[in-house]
Structures are given as structure tokens and as C-alpha cells.
């Protein structure tokens, strides 16, 4: 899966699971990704065993920045 498809998948999951947890586990651009989110909170966001995440209840713009981080550095 490429990053654009991944981002759309997470966006859709976030919107369809308002006030519920959503999950993703798969390969994105040859990286192993595990994600557990709740609204705009990335509770668990591991990419190739490196932990990322975000604060709770942030704006969507900031959420997207945290989501982008492992793929833009």
C-alpha cells in the first residue's frame, strides 16, 4: 500500500468510528505499521518498531502532521 492509500484508509476509519477506537496493521511503503487511534488521538502508532503518537484531542491538521511524520523524515 502506498502512503496516500494509507492516509485515506485512516481518514475513513477515523470518520466512521467517531468516539470509538479504530485499528490498522499492514505494510505501507515497505514499512510495518501498527496503529490504534481514537478520534484524532494516535494512541499507538508504530512504524518499523519505532513509536510515534500524538496528544489527545488535537485538530485534524495537527493529526495529519503526526500521521505524516514517519513517512516524511
Q: pLDDT tens-digit profile of 26-46?
A: 999 999 999 999 999 999 999
Report if residue 16 sits inside a domain: yes
User: What's the number of domains the chain is made of?
Assistant: 1
- Residue 15's pLDDT band, with cuts at 50, 70 and 90, is very high
pLDDT at 12: 98
Q: Cell digits for 66?
A: 503526526
Report if residue 28 sits inside a domain: yes
| Domain range for 20 | 3-60
CA nearest to 44, candidates 62, 22, 68, 12: 22
pLDDT at 73: 67
Task: Please give the mean pLDDT across all residues of the chain.
Answer: 96
Chain-centre distance of CA 26, in angstroms? 12
Can you name the residues that pair with 38 across neighbouring β-strands? 21, 41
Q: How far is residue 32 from each of residues 8, 9, 15, 39, 56, measured CA to CA in Å?
A: 17, 15, 23, 22, 24
- Residue 72's pLDDT band, with cuts at 50, 70 and 90, is confident
Amino acid at each position: 500500500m502506498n502512503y496516500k492509500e494509507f492516509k485515506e484508509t485512516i481518514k475513513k476509519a477515523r470518520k466512521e468510528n467517531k468516539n470509538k477506537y479504530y485499528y490498522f496493521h499492514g505494510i505501507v511503503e515497505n514499512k510495518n505499521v501498527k496503529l490504534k487511534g481514537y478520534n484524532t488521538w494516535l494512541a499507538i502508532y508504530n512504524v518499523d518498531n519505532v513509536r510515534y503518537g500524538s496528544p489527545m484531542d488535537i485538530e485534524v491538521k495537527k493529526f495529519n502532521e503526526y500521521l505524516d511524520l514517519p513517512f516524511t523524515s
